[in-house]
Every structure is written in C-alpha cells, then in structure tokens.
Amino acid sequence: MRVLLVGQAAFAEQVLSRLEEAGDGVAAVICPPDAGEKPDPLKAAAVARGIPVHQFRSLKVPEARRAFEEAAADLAVLAYVTQIVPEPLLAIPRLTSICFHPSLLPRYRGGSAIAWQLIRGETRTGVTVFWPDAGIDTGPILLQREATIGLDDTAGTLYYRTLFPLGVETVLDAVALVRSGRAPRLPQDESRASHDPLCGDQHAAIDWTRPAGEVHDLIRGCDPQPGAHTTWRGSRLRFYEPHRLAGPVDAAPGTVVAIGPEGLTIAASNGAVRAARARDGGQKGAAAEVARVVGLEPGVSLGQR
C-alpha cells in the first residue's frame, strides 16, 4: 500500500521502518519544522531513504493540501502528530486517514493523555488507532490494545517502556487491517468520553495537604514535563522519579522528613513521598545534591512563600 506518513520523533521513525518491512511504500513524509540543529528522527530517516519530506508550521496552508494531494497515497498514517490536521486533508488519501493516540479512547482525549492518566491514579492504560475527523480524538475506533501502569511509572517511563512499543505494533496491525479490507469503524461512546487540557505549570503545583498517593501521582504524571513544583525561598523546586512510602509520618504536610542517597522525602497527608531527582531551575540532578545546593535540611517546610 502507498502510505503518506504524518508525524515526528522516534515513534514515527519506527513506524516508517516497520511500514517498509511490511512491504508498504511510503510516498512522502510530513513533519514539523526542525526545532534545532539536529533534524527530527522521522525527517532524518526519510531523507536517508530518498523519501520526499514536507515541513509546515501549520497544516492549514495551501502547500500542505498540495503535499497531501501529490502523495497520491492509499492511506495517511498519523503517527505522533502534535499539529492539527484539517478534516479536508484527512479525506484526500484513497482510504482516508488513521491516527495513533496513547489512551483507551474515548477516555483521555487531548495532547496530555499520558500525564492525566497518571495524575488521576489510573492503573490500566492502552493505545488506540482511530479514524480521525473534525473533532479532537473523536473519530471511530479501528483498533485498541490495553496495558498496565506500573506503581512508580512516570509519564516518561510509561511512554517509552510500554506505550511506544505497543503503539508501533498497534499502528502496524491497524495498517494491515486496512490493507486487507477488514478495518472496523466503531463509534466512540460519548457517554464515557473525557478531554483534558495540555498539562502545564498551572496544573503541576503540589499541595502537600493532599493525600500522599495523590501527590505521588501528580509528580509522576508531570515527569518529565512540566515537572511538579513547590515553593522554597520564593523559587520553584521541581521533583521527579517519585516513590510513595507506606505508613503514616509524624510531620506536618510539606515538611522535609529525610534527605539521603535514595532521594528527598517530604510529608503529605497520611504519608510521605520520596523523590529521587529534583531541579531548582538549573539542571535536573540527584535530589540530595539539589537539596544541598538550595539549602534544604530535614525539618524545613516546603510550599511556603
């Protein structure tokens, strides 16, 4: 089958390689403009293979429509797409378009699906390949696969260890179903739908009076970005790689309980959370070292201006 691949990063690069292994021809690649000196992995892989590459800051420009049309593709595969693809473009390929999303739709629609699943304490997750339409992650479902969320999974580890490989496999299986003419279009159940905003600093502030489990989930959901944060001496201190400690702690919420090689332990309501790494505005580092730099000691209180 002749495929137009729209996406970016290592995920789309892996999809490109696997499509070729399956015997599908990639007619062209569409990805965002380069963010730095190093080209996007998808772009680099396409250039190395002699595949035409088109880069647009917005897919709403006439040049983007022309790229879709000139590809003369049987199917467009949207693999890790952060740009909005206008609905008219989705219908251009002969068999239209399919899209990857890192949740079990219709739950957790939106661009920060992984983060919000962790923040809300989910224990099960998965990936979906669907037929996109004019809405945000609202089109009919083609294929879904479930997965388990580990107790200390962060957004980063959950994606790279679980959803990345599962997602690539699921995209390739979905393409195979389209190729065979057996791909379903199952309407999403809107009664179960949820949509969340992009997870930013306004969502990442730590309230130490919340239960320790909720604090733990917030920190891991915001790891690596934007980094759950608290206040210390008027500055933001961010925490990463958390672990929830069992049992009650005899300290007020926000109190630094211990500092050691395993991390920085802070009291919350009904327990404590230990963060292995932290950042005070500079480079992320071992929490104990960051604590030394910013003057944290056991007994001090965080979250106070």
Average the pLDDT over each of 41-45, 127-131, 232-236 and give the range with the smallest value.
Answer: 232-236
At 135, the pLDDT band (50, 70, 90 cuts) reads very high
- Which pLDDT tens digit goes with each residue over 193-215? 999 999 999 999 999 999 999 99
**Res. 143: pLDDT tops 70:** yes
Q: What is the pLDDT of residue 252?
A: 95
Q: What is the pLDDT of residue 37?
A: 86
Give the integer Cα–Cα distance in Å for 148 and 94.
36
Give the tokens for residue 245: 């400690």
- Which pLDDT tens digit goes with each residue over 173-192? 999 999 999 999 999 999 99
| Selected residue with higher pLDDT from 97 and 247 | 97
Give the tokens for residue 140: 């009919």
At 276, the pLDDT band (50, 70, 90 cuts) reads very high
- The percentage of residues in the chain with a pLDDT greater than 70, rounded to a whole number, is 99
Average pLDDT over residues 85-106: 98
Q: What is the pLDDT of residue 304?
A: 67
Average the pLDDT over each of 75-79, 84-88, 243-247 and give the range with the smallest value.
Answer: 243-247
Average pLDDT over residues 72-79: 98
Half-sphere exposure of 216 (CA within 13 A, CB side): 22
Give the integer Cα–Cα distance in Å for 304 and 152.
27
Average pLDDT over residues 7-12: 97
Q: What is the pLDDT of residue 58?
A: 96
CA proximity to 6, closest of 83, 60, 79 = 79
- Which pLDDT tens digit goes with each residue over 222-257? 999 999 999 999 899 999 999 999 888 899 999 999
| Predicted model pTM | 0.95
- What residues contact 98, with CB distance under 8 A and at least 6 apart? 75, 76, 77, 78, 129, 130, 131, 132, 142, 171, 174, 175, 178, 183
Domains belonging to the chain, first-starting first, are: 2-192 (3.40.50.170), 201-294 (3.10.25.10)
Give the integer Cα–Cα distance in Å for 32 and 39.
10
At 139, the pLDDT band (50, 70, 90 cuts) reads very high
Beta carbons of 262 and 276 less than 8 angstroms apart: yes
Q: What is the pLDDT of residue 248?
A: 83
At 305, the pLDDT band (50, 70, 90 cuts) reads low
Q: What is the pLDDT of residue 243?
A: 97
Q: What is the pLDDT of residue 282?
A: 83
- Which pLDDT tens digit goes with each residue over 55-68? 999 999 999 999 99
Q: What is the pLDDT of residue 283?
A: 85
Q: What is the pLDDT of residue 281?
A: 85
Q: How far apart are the first and last CA of the chain?
A: 60
The chain-wide mean pLDDT, for the chain, equals: 96
